[in-house]
A = this chain, B = another copy of it.
Amino acid sequence: MDNLPKCGANYVPLTPLTFLTRASKCYANRTSIIYGGVRFTWTQTYERCCRLASSLRSLNIVKNDVVSVLAPNVPAMYEMHFAVPMAGAVLNTINTRLDAKNIAVILKHSEAKVFFVDYEYLEIAKKALELLMMFDFGKSKTSDMPIMPLVVVIVDIYSRTGIRLGELEYEQLVHQGNPSYIPEEITDEWDPITLNYTSGTTSDPKGVVYSHRGAFLSTLSLILGWEMGTEPVYLWSLPMFHCNGWTFTWGIAARGGTNICIRNTTAQEMYTNIVSHNVTHMCCAPIVFNILLEAKPHEYRTITTRVQILTGGAPPPVPLLEKIERLGFHVVHAYGLTEATGPALVCEWQEKWNKLPSENQAKLKARQGVGILTLADVDVKIFKNMHSVPRDGKSIGEVCLRGSSIMKGYFKNEKANSEVFKNGWFFTGDVGVIHQDGYLEIKDRRKDVIISGGENISSIEVENVIMRHKNVLEASVVVMPHPRWGESPCAFVILTKNSSQVKEVDIIAHCRSNLPGFMVPKKVKFVEELPKTGTGKVQKHHLRAVAKTFVVLEKSNETSKKTSQVNKEKPRYYEQTREKILALSRL
């Protein structure tokens, strides 16, 4: 019975490309894409992808070649998620918020053969290409000319401006292509489909490779985890360059839905499209909540049917969650990372929770939840011995994942691969706890955990408490070296407008009423803004560098006040002393 052979009928390699073929047959005349005044059906989208794929082949793109793209959420960007692998190639979407240098590093590392650039990004792309040329020349004068990617311009398909003579253009490639092109057959589902760079650091670029199998399975799991029904109307508020739109590039084809493409995630564009097209689903970083909430009256539109939002990153605070839900959105919280093909855990809502007070609901909603179905296992392991932590909601450990959603690996980076793949697990670098009901809650990035007197402190937990202070707009907590405790928390805080009366002692007193003593920040620094990455994440390494300078100051304070005497005193007393010192040493 185990010798029954695989054949073409019963063993078809898993690939999300089948979602498009299927959509073109089963949902032939349904609308696939709406972008301004442009509309396509699934038949048309399939045909356009065939055309583009055949044009790529005629540009000598072959199996496993990398095709890069720098573009916002326009139809071309969507189509390339199918067309590029249909030509056998690997799609590399580049974060549009990167600078020229980072783009150049990615183009070089990925060895991109073709580089599609939306007309809005031509300037930065040009600079990146100049840098790319210089990289290669700089290294070795004897080397060959650098192999520069062929550049294709994407002109806006709705308001067609900016075509220049002599340049290859996206629509031209689509137009010239063969509509009856037979897509490159995927014979091995382990073959690469996309390449996504996690960050633009020049020293160690990490190109995450997804397989056709992984992409297929993650797509199905996310539809299931979010309970997305058929015929969704999906607003592209999440950039497609984030883990291929958290797999929903492929997922909307699987569900026979409609993609609402938008060039900018402004309040106006989002509200107008939500209301005009009866959007049912959207994904976004929590920062988009603020954009929606801060819409000016002329930008705002009343939402009449509920819009499902899938969000990741730090759990939105309760008041924010309540505000956004009052507008007609329903938020589901997820946890993921590029290496896990986007969201890997989704906070599945339980019927019985509907009866709880909204404060409790928000707490439950802020948890990261349960692993999606293509994760074979999720575990939280104790750093020291790699045993699983008890499921008590308290014991902290590193979040480990295994299953079909996990990337093939980092491209040309064996060192990084050996660091994250250990003992049959992928180590996320995040720390968390598992609650008694099996739901996981992320506490921090492993490198952001503060170990104070042998106790683990989650910087996120401290941030959440500070954020609950009514005058606080934003907070970020990082490690600060400490002569006695090794490390201690240091908070950077943005106050709301007109809160100048709030002092450091107030924030510390607030923390003291809501946290165990060892978790209270030893230092609170008020700032005007926090350093952030292009994707809106706080760059804690910058803050850590600043926090280090505080310590030197404190050390000198300590010495001058001979606080080294307190070494044998009880922590509680010691903390009080320390705070007095801090109050004096306010920066």
Interface residues of A (CB under 8 A from B): 1-2, 4-12, 14, 18-19, 21-22, 25-29, 64, 90, 188, 190-192, 195, 209, 214, 217, 220-221, 223-224, 227, 229-231, 254, 256, 348-351, 370-371, 373, 375-378, 391, 401-404, 406-409, 411, 417, 421, 423-426, 436-439
Q: Is B403 in contact with A26, judged by CB distance below 8 angstroms? A: no
- Nearest 5 A/B pairs, CB to CB: A8-B424, A26-B370, A12-B376, A4-B409, A10-B406
CB neighbours of A8 from chain B (8 A): 402, 423-425
| A9 and B425 contact, Cβ closer than 8 Å, known pairs A18-B376, A220-B224, A254-B373 | yes
Q: Is B421 in contact with A9, judged by CB distance below 8 angstroms? A: yes
CB neighbours of A373 from chain B (8 A): 19, 22, 220, 254
Q: How far is the CB of A119 from chain B (nearest CB, A)?
A: 29
- Pull 11 A–B residue pairs with CB atoms less than 8 Å apart, ordered by A: A1-B192, A4-B192, A4-B409, A7-B424, A9-B402, A22-B373, A22-B375, A26-B371, A26-B439, A27-B438, A231-B350
| A230 and B22 contact, Cβ closer than 8 Å, known pairs A406-B10, A407-B10, A408-B10 | no
Return the chain B residue nearest A440 by Cβ.
Answer: B26
Chain A contact surface mostly: loop
Of B9, B209, B408, the contact of A424 (CB 8 Å cutoff)? B9
Q: How far is the CB of A347 from chain B (nearest CB, A)?
A: 11
Q: How far is the CB of A184 from chain B (nearest CB, A)?
A: 13
A314→B46 CA distance, assembly (Å) = 33
Q: Is B22 in contact with A370, judged by CB distance below 8 angstroms? A: yes
Q: Is B9 in contact with A191, judged by CB distance below 8 angstroms? A: no
Q: Is B404 in contact with A11, judged by CB distance below 8 angstroms? A: yes
Q: Is B64 in contact with A1, judged by CB distance below 8 angstroms? A: yes
A437→B29 CA distance, assembly (Å) = 7
A2→B409 CA distance, assembly (Å) = 10
CB neighbours of A437 from chain B (8 A): 28-29
CB neighbours of A378 from chain B (8 A): 25
Q: How far is the CB of A381 from chain B (nearest CB, A)?
A: 13
Of B7, B21, B192, the contact of A377 (CB 8 Å cutoff)? B21
Q: How far is the CB of A529 from chain B (nearest CB, A)?
A: 38
CB neighbours of A409 from chain B (8 A): 4-5, 10
Q: Is B1 in contact with A209, judged by CB distance below 8 angstroms? A: yes
Q: How far is the CB of A530 from chain B (nearest CB, A)?
A: 33
CB neighbours of A221 from chain B (8 A): 220
